[in-house]
Structure 1
Amino acid sequence: MIHNAIINITNLRLRTYIGFNEEEKQKQQDIIINAEIHYPANNLCLRDDVENALNYKVICKNIIRHVESGRFLLLEKLTSDVLGLCVDNPQVSFAKVTIDKPHALRFADSVSLTLSYTKENLKGD
């Protein structure tokens, strides 16, 4: 029996250069990242075998490194990059990333963008 494991990274708060206005290019802004990552939790993983588990700490460190060292014009590009880091492991069957840009609009708490990935089953058709 294969169990579906779901890792959630909740409210990862980082700062980066995001936007194309001159002020946005000169000053880092806060962003909030939420990610959901699905992978099959096989019996070895469920028996506490570290080697067969998806290492969320490595994924999170890669996200932090990429976001904090990068410069992004569009929220779409940043979200796509973070999603790519979440699905970098071949075990991942589904992932969804939402990135919030607080205070991007004057009368709104935040603007956010969500992208998702679903692994296609490759069949010999």
Structure 2
Amino acid sequence: MRRITRRALLAFAAVCLCLLALGALPSLLGSGDPYYLTATPTDAEGPAVNATELSERRYPYLTAAIETGRSDPYRTGSVGLKEAFTHSPFDERDGLVARNPEARHDGGIVVASDDSRYLVAVRRA
């Protein structure tokens, strides 16, 4: 192998390793109080987002909140790097609002799952 080809391959491998590290590192970073996605049963009337058909892989915080009342904690990053690379309860809340903007109610969004309705909101501990 020529020396220039070898250097190019090593540089490419180093870039790939750095990108992999950036993908794994943000989940280890975190500071401040944790944020949770909470799901409180509600009798609110009006439009709601149908959560029955939502994927657990796409909405892991919402799924956990509906099952237990509160999702796993999410801590923000100290320098803003983490938010660009990780999935957060804020992303899920924004996704729910995008599905049905009229379902907003009392600082949260009304979600219907099976025969129950929940007020879903992001809360700080």
Normalised by the shorter chain, which TM-score bucket?
Answer: under 0.3
Greater share of helix: 2
Greater share of strand: 1
Of structures 1 and 2, the larger Rg is shown by: 2
* Larger relative contact order (Cα-Cα within 8 Å, sequence gap ≥ 6): 2
